[in-house]
Structure 1
Amino acid sequence: MSGLLALLDDVAAIVKLSAAQLDDIAAQATKAGTKAAGVVIDDAAVTPKYVTGLPAARELPIVWKIARASFFNKLVILLPAALVLDAFLPQLLTPLLMIGGAYLCFEGAEKVWHLIVPHKDDGPQQAETLDAAHLEEQRVKGAIKTDFILSAEIMTISLSQIDIDALWVQASALAVVAIGITALVYGAVALLVKADDFGLHLGAEGRLASTRALGRGIVRGMPKVMVVIATIGTVAMLWVGGSIIVHGLHDLGWHLPYDRIKHAAEVLGGESGFVRWAVTAGLDGLIGLALGLALIPIVTRLIVPVTGWLFPEKA
């Protein structure tokens, strides 16, 4: 009997330990996923453009193709790569994270710059010169490339926020983040791209006048919704990118930007946690915008031409 009781005690201890570790995974995944929110919002805001101009029947299959590639990128390629780097070359994580942050700043600042200085969009002309199949293939490839970059940033940001050294906890938390974020992003994208069709259906087939009016309202409102989402995505990119740069510089030994922002948040925010956060996010975003604007001529006049010269087949 005493042996059975001891065995039951061991089982209870294992169950308690497992529950605690599951709590750790959930807590770490939540913390990591929250920090990557800016990239997530941008991912959801960017993806719908890849189905614009294609047959409505192909919208959801295209979203699924991109989502499936995103799952593969995060779980099969990026998750193991992030863990290997963290285990053997942890000193590279901060510089890599800052490179990703600089990319976010560039992307966000480029969108702001295009609002200030409108540029010609080649998308419709391209759609006219390619048949639907080739256009779909090209769009999917472009979306997967963009998703890979954003996914790398999501996984790197997430790993940087996990403060438990156990490898299996890190891997499990990253997997939870990867699956949860991908499902959230592409579920939201699927709803966004089909909202017009749903509105048209309600407007035409609704039994009640209020239902038909709702459908027409959805159709009229979706362009504004997409503008709002794109705006939030741009602001989030600048905020997250600037925050990554500021914290990276702090970790590498240059504390001035971090300390000045922290001091400003304490002075202006007082006892309000929300105001302190808003001041910090706003100043991080301004730094991200300044860095991104500085990067635009470097990328467009140096990096893009050099890349086109080195890889002409990709141009």
Structure 2
Amino acid sequence: MAGGLAALLDDVALIARKAAAQVDDVAAAAGRTSAKAAGVVVDDAAVTPRFVRGVSPKRELPIIWRITKGSLFNKLVIILPLALLLSWIAPWALTPLLMIGGTYLSFEGAEKFLEMVGAGHHEQATAAEKGAQSEDQLVRGAVTTDLILSAEIMVISLNEVADQPFTTRLSVLAVVAVAMTALVYGAVGLLVKIDDIGLRLAKRPSKQSKKIGLAMVDGMPKILNAIAVIGTFAMLWVGGHIMLVGVGELFWAAPVTVVHHLAHTAGTIPGIGGLAAWLTETGFSMVAGLAWGVVIVAVVAAVRRTSANHPR
């Protein structure tokens, strides 16, 4: 009896160790895939506050919560099953899909970069400017935008674990979906309420509280602008990297090989090799993303002009 119990406990311990190892593997893979999706995540966090600009402060968090639920639905109910099905029946399609997403990121990044340097103009209507548009319509618009960004996050994540067993892929994508949604919309909720928190502090009798509160209110536009700039460069970095790798796998290996060689050379610099290698690869990826994005911006502008000159 004692021997049977000892054997049972050994089996339980073995199962527990295997489960713990799998959890560690999933956590590590989720961390890697989340880092790869950084550019999309920052852009998501930069875009979303615009949807609630001009909304009553009492409705900001409820609206963000509705968008959060829509984002989880996008990732877990729509994108996750489709991504897993694709990885099963057509894994070869992941690279072309990533390149489509990379083109989208490069286009968005280039459009925003050109606007930053005064060579383009791209506006997105805020909630206040939309006038009589209902809250439901506002949420639907935000969730639709989120669907595009979430699809890119999930495809990037899937590509990182495409060679893993089904259960690992499912677990990693589910963890990434929940973690990225919580990160993005938790940050957005904090961002849109910072000025309200600052106003409350500014109304307190303490001079220190007033000083901190006013600094928070004055600094909020600068924070949002900084996030937008970081998001722009992150999109160009991720989009350009996707395009370089995709072109290398499907058509022409020379560009990505040269970048890897230069990054490897930079990595040999004593003391700062790791940083130098990362900056080299990131810099070339940004340049590639910007170049490709500018081409797409020009094509889109030409199509728009043609459509405007030849209305149906």
Q: Same fold (TM over 0.5)?
A: yes
8 Å CA contact 1:54, 1:136 repeated in 2: no
Q: 1:209 aligns with which of 207, 210, 214?
A: 207
Q: Is the 8 A contact 2:237 2:289 kept in 1?
A: yes
Residue identity opposite 1:65 in structure 2? R
3-state SS of 1:123 partner: coil
CA drift of 1:150 comes to 0.5
Amino acid at match of 1:95: P
Q: 1:152 to 1:121 in 2, by over 3 A?
A: closer
Between the aligned partners of 1:296 and 1:256, the Cα distance in structure 2 is 25
1:239-270 CA-partner distances (Å, limit 9, x unpaired): 00000111111222421111111122233443
Q: State the match for 1:223 in structure 2.
A: 221
Identify, as 1 or 2, the structure richer in helix. 1
Using a 3 Å threshold, how does the CA distance of structure 1 residues 153 and 129 change in structure 2: closer, same or farther?
closer
**One-letter amino acid of the counterpart of residue 245, structure 1:** M
Which residue of structure 2 aligns with residue 161 of structure 1? Answer: 160
- Residue type at the aligned position of 1:198: I
Match of 1:14 in 2: 15
Alpha-carbon displacement from aligned partner over 1:48-90 (angstroms, at most 9, x marks no partner)? 0111122111111111111110000001111111111001100
Who is 2:79 aligned against? 78
Gaps of 5+ in 2: none
Between the aligned partners of 1:104 and 1:299, the Cα distance in structure 2 is 14
Ranges in structure 1 where 5+ consecutive residues have no aligned partner = none
2:13 maps to amino acid: A
Whole-Å separation in 2 of the counterparts to 1:140 and 1:34: 28
Per the TM alignment, residue 112 of structure 1 is displaced from its structure 2 partner at its CA by: 1.2
Instruction: Tell me what 2:44 maps to.
Output: 43
Q: In structure 1, what is the equivalent of residue 259 of structure 2?
A: 261
Q: What is the identity, as a one-letter code, of the residue corresponding to 1:196?
A: D
Q: 2: CA distance between counterparts of 1:293 and 1:287?
A: 10
More displaced stretch, 260-269 vs 241-250: 260-269
2:249 pairs with 1:251 = yes
Matches within 5 A, 1:96-111: 96-111=97-112
Counterpart residue number, 2:121: 119
Alpha-carbon distance in structure 1 between the residues aligned to 2:213 and 2:92: 54
In structure 2, the residue corresponding to 1:239 is in which secondary structure?
A: helix
1:304 and 1:245, CA in 2 relative to 1: closer, same or farther beyond 3 A? farther
The CA distance in 2 between the partners of 1:121 and 1:254, in whole Å, is 36
Q: Would you say how many aligned residue pairs link Structure 1 and Structure 2?
A: 304
Larger mean CA deviation between 221-230 and 246-255 belongs to 246-255
1:6–1:104 distance in 2 versus 1, CA, 3 Å: same
Provide the identity percentage.
48
Cα-to-partner distance string for 1:107-149 (whole Å, 9 max, x where unaligned): 000011222235374737x845622xx2533332221111100
Aligned to 2:198: 199
SS of equivalent to 2:29: helix
Structure 1 38/79 Cα, relative in aligned 2: closer, same or farther at 3 Å? Answer: same
- TM-aligned CA distance change 1:305 to 1:53, over 3 Å: farther
Q: How does 1:52-91 map to 2 (within 5 A)?
A: 52-91=53-92
- Superposed CA RMSD in Å reads 2.1
Separation of aligned partners in 2, 1:164 and 1:18: 20
Residues 199 and 88 (structure 1 numbering): CA distance in 2 closer, same or farther, change over 3 Å?
Answer: same
User: Which residue identity lines up with residue 195 of structure 1 in the other structure?
Assistant: I
Could you tell me whether the CA contact under 8 Å between 1:127 and 1:135 is conserved in 2? no
Correspondence for 1:299: 300
